[in-house]
Amino acid sequence: MGSTCGASWAFSAIEAIESAYLIASNTSYNLSIQQLLDCTAGGCGFGTVATSLYYINSSGILPENKYYAYLGYDFTICRTAAAGNTTRIRISTYVPVLAGCSNILAALALRPVPVLLDATNWMNYESGIMGPTSSNGSCGGYQPNFYALLVGVNSTAWTLRNSWSDVWGVNGYIALAPGNSCYICNSNNVQPVL
C-alpha cells in the first residue's frame, strides 16, 4: 500500500481509525488516505497524525473508492465535493498519548496507537525482532522520521503495522524488542476516539 510518497502519517491515522471501528463495532472500513494528502496541509512528507485526526473530526473521511482512491502522490486539490452525499466517517475526538512506554501501553490497551519513531534502518527488515542491537538490525540513531501503527505487545516483542505494503517485513508488520526500541517511547502521539 505504501509508495515513495512520505505518507506514513496518513496511513497510520487511517489505520488507527479503521482498527478502532473494527474493535468497537465489528465494522470494517477502507478509508481514504489520499483525501488526507489532498485536503490537509500535509501532502507527501509533511503531515502529522494530529493534523489528520483534527481534519477527520471536523470534516469526516470518505471511503477509499472511485471518489478517493490512493494515488501515491499529492494531488494538491481537495476533491471531496465530487463524492456528493457519500457517507463520511467521523471520530468524536482524539486524545494525547504522552511520551513514555507506560503511556503508550496504557493507550494500546484501548485500541491500536499511531506512533512516531525512527525507521531509518527498516528498509532491509525481513523477519525476527529488531532492537537496539540485534542480529536482525538495529534501529539507528534517534531521528523521529516515520509513523507506524502499534497493534500489539507481548513479553518478547512490540508489533507494528507499516505502510510499505504486505510484501515488506512479515506481511507488512515489524516486531521490535520491548521497550524503547527505535525510540518508540520518545515522542508524544495522539489516538482517535470514536
- The pLDDT of residue 143: 80
Q: Taking the model in full, what pTM does it have?
A: 0.93
Residue with C-alpha cell 482517535? 192
Which residues touch 148 (CB under 8 Å, ≥6 apart)?
A: 8, 12, 114, 115, 117, 119, 160, 161, 162, 163, 174
Per the structure, the complete domain to which residue 124 belongs is given by: 8-193
Q: CA 41, CA 7: separation in Å to the nearest integer? A: 12
**Please, which residues bridge with residue 153 across strands?**
158
pLDDT tens digits for range 68-82? 899 888 877 898 998
pLDDT tens digits for range 11-51? 999 999 999 999 999 999 999 999 999 999 888 988 999 99
Q: Quick check: 3 pLDDT over 60?
A: no
Q: How many domains does the chain have?
A: 1
Report CA-CA distances (Å) from 171 to 4, 25, 126: 19, 25, 9
Q: Quick check: 138 pLDDT over 80?
A: no
- Does residue 86 lie within any of the structural domains? yes
CATH code of residue 189: 3.90.70.10
